[in-house]
Amino acid sequence: MDIEVLHRQVIPHPAVNGSRVARTREAIVTSALSLAVTGEVAPIVRDIARMAGVSARTVFQHFADTAELYVAVLDRVLGTEFGDIPEPGAVSPLEGRIQFIVDRAAERHERLLSMWTFVETLQHRSVPAADMVAQFYAAGHASLARWFDRELAGLSAEQRGRMLNAVALALSPESWVVLRRRLGLSVERARDELRFVVGAALKDGARR
């Protein structure tokens, strides 16, 4: 897929005000994101500046260091592409809810796939990035608890926690990386595997 097209799919550009400072900052973040999308684990300032049409000095006038810039890129990824997902409706049949949630997760994770190494590396090197990712996972966990409240009702606290952890693990970006990159599955096949795993975890937990 063309990198420019992929970039537009990953992160829509947010609206910025007309000030030169805002436009320059936006160009820097967008350029760093473009390089991360191509697989760059740590885009260098020289390349970011060249793509943004500014000097390296200008980059550091807007960001204290590359870590701060990378965190701004991560915030764009998680805040825009991984925002709230519409509720599938707790009254819907279980199979319908599973399909809805898996399809949305697969769509989002596939968009993130090309820059997953960047995200994973950054969260190990930056406390703010790690906190941001942790908040993202916590929000996802809370959403699963709402989506599958009917299946979780009546379970003990331990059973409820184990079921939620199993489903959250299956729907994590890391699982998608394993299915797509390590096992070499197609998007369709990887999505089918997730539906099977999530369904098995929920149905098994509900029987206990």
- Does residue 94 sit within a domain? yes
> Which residue has better confidence, 9 or 135?
135
Same-domain check for residues 191 and 115: yes
At residue 18, the pLDDT reads: 57
Which structural domain, as residue segments, surrounds residue 146? 88-207
Same-domain check for residues 69 and 132: no
At residue 140, the pLDDT reads: 87
Rounded to an integer, the average pLDDT of 104-111 is: 91
Residue 31 has pLDDT above 70, yes or no: yes
Least confident of 33-37, 41-45, 86-90: 86-90
Q: Pick the last residue of a domain from 36, 54, 77.
A: 77
Residue 58 has pLDDT above 80, yes or no: yes
How sure is the predictor about 80, in pLDDT bands with cuts at 50, 70 and 90? low
Same-domain check for residues 102 and 73: no
Same-domain check for residues 72 and 110: no
At residue 71, the pLDDT reads: 95
Q: What residues have CB less than 8 Å from 51, skipping those under 6 apart?
A: 31, 34, 35
> How do residues 167-201 score in pLDDT, each as one tens digit?
999 999 999 999 999 999 999 999 999 999 999 99
Same-domain check for residues 31 and 11: yes
At residue 6, the pLDDT reads: 37
